[in-house]
A and B are shown apart, each in its own frame.
Chain A
Amino acid sequence: MIAALFFYLFSAVLIASAFLVITSRNPVHSVLFLILAFFNAAGLFLLLGAEFLAMLLVVVYVGAVAVLFLFVVMMLDVDFAEFKQGFMRYLPVGGAIGAIVLLELVLVVGGWRVDAASLANVASPAPPAMSNTLALGRVLYTQYAYLFIAAGMVLLTAMIGAIILTLHHKVGIKRQDVAAQNARTPKDAVELRKKSFRQGV
């Protein structure tokens, strides 16, 4: 009963905030509604018992992706009102395509039955009496160790690539060198001169 209540609560807020993401005038509001949508989706995952996926959604999407979005939206001076100018003009075409896709989705998902044979094929089925996180931890570094390392190599490649394409070593920049600063003595930094009185410099 309570689960059903929360399901409808999360779903309603999710749909409403997803709608507001595309309709709100201010792009910053859009991103904030996107974050709200992510939180509600995480809640739905929790209700399904997929607590690891829920936490991942919050950590990765809210913590990294959405903040990055917010950063970009605030950094770049994009005139979003200009993008939306043709909104009403293209609404019939866009709406028609959306309706067709929705219809297709309903037909496909409505007619879809999970094949019993395909369920038997699953390589690592969810073990009973074990939390998601524990089950993942059991296979991630054992059964999937090879793939885990391969993913690590992909990330290393991305890092090297980002550095090689964007890092410019500029010459002639004055940088603070603490050791050089500390090594300075009054002898080589200060010069004392006798000046006669009332003569100016």
Chain B
Amino acid sequence: MLATFLAQTAATTPIPDVAWSSFAPELPPTITALVLLLVAVARRRQLLVAVPTALLAVAAGVWLIASGETPGALVVPGAVAIVLGILAPALVVATRGRTSLLAAWAAAASLVAALVLTVWQYLTVLTPDGPTLVPQLAMADAIANDGIAVFTRLVVYLSALLVIPLGYGYLQDRRINRAEVEPLLLLAVVGMAALGSANDLITLFIALELLSLALYVLAGLARRDRRSQEASLKYFVTGSVASAILLFGMALIYVATGTVTLPEIGAAVGLVTTPRFVAAIGLALITVGIGFKVALAPFHLWTPDVYQGAPTNVTAFMAAGTKAAGFAAALRLYLVAFPDLEALWVPVLAVLAALTMLYGAFLAVVQHDVKRILAYSAISHAGFATIGLVANSDAGLSATLWYLLTYAVSTLTAFGCVIVLERRRRGEVTLADLRGVGRSAPAIAGILAFALLSLAGIPITAGYVGKLVVFEAGIEAGFTWLVLVGVLASVVAAFFYLRIAGMMFLEDSPEPVEGPYPSFGLSVGVTVSAALVLYLGIQPELLLRLATDAGVLAR
């Protein structure tokens, strides 16, 4: 009877024309975030939230499976909904009321679901016949599902998925495992994913604010730690200024072109009737705003303080996720909306890229705090990723996306190791603290050294293939000087990465070193991300091809 009812509803209720598959991967994290907040409110009566959620999810899943236009077309999303639904009460029972453990597992599950749905979306919706990606527009052209969107989703969901086990034990140690951590993390991820697919200025701005607001709070998670508060506030104040400038730039673009949709802006900018002057100022201000988000010099000044002060797992997530999403938005903006103004933005970004690479590399040399060194390294890496953007070509686009994936896994590995070393130290890890770690904890020291090699761009690591592909795109586009600057910066950078490795392996601590304490989650997270660094270094084929395919843009 139920079946007939469902069949009837499915027949009579047409699926509204929102092409909802375009944001399907975002649904599980969003819903999970909301449910987790409810669970936090419900305190001991968690099942009261979990059971109705489960029922709704299972019903939705069954309806999805039954209702596809062609039978079985929506089996995967339906199955995902059902599995998540069943998991909800099961997790509540299994974790026996330990809310933070429940939240971690639920968030991880929703991220896995998001990854599954991304792959499903890529395979069935975007590449219906054969390997060529067919870009899709949805929601009145506000969302574009193309290569950039898919790749960004993969990177940010993967990063978040790795950050959860890395951060779980750490948050508990510092007693900052509050109920809002996972929901905020999930919302930030959704913002990032949306940023990767935002096809008009409004969506872009909202996505950016969504992720920024979540991150402002996450950076200040350690309320009793002055540096964490300072980080949060600094990030907020400077970030607001950047948002304002970005918004002003967008307004000017609207004034100049009369539209907010990126492809239409692209078409309008080239017209004679468009006031070039206004458009140029708008472009400049947008460049400033984007430059802030991805931390290009001279808009990077907040980065070291924020990265150093924020809880380390949040820092790792910011470095891996925000960069990927920010660059995705930048790529789409410049390549779709401003191809006709390339004479304006290409040289500016090229100079910024060169400045950023050198600045980050040289300043990292004089730092002593490991997190701060990694922060300057993040700045430098943003410069490298910009080379692909400056190349202003399909190859450059793929190169930047690919570079950010390699950077994400490498930096997550590195920060994961820092978390291990930081546990119970309750504070910064300086270079001097690393002495003798090579002996007291060879595994962690080895993995950290490996991650640093990847960041430095030494072969068999992901970072090497990343740099190679970016440099190649740069050369192809005629930016030989920029690539030379990049090579120079990478030599300088190798020095300070090496200094960290050298401290661990080649120096002994004056006092006996207390061994680091990896938790189960940390071990899993660090191992998986290190394995990814190695895998992407040795066999980059699969994902590199995906990045190459991402060159198909919804224009």
Q: Do A and B come from one complex?
A: no
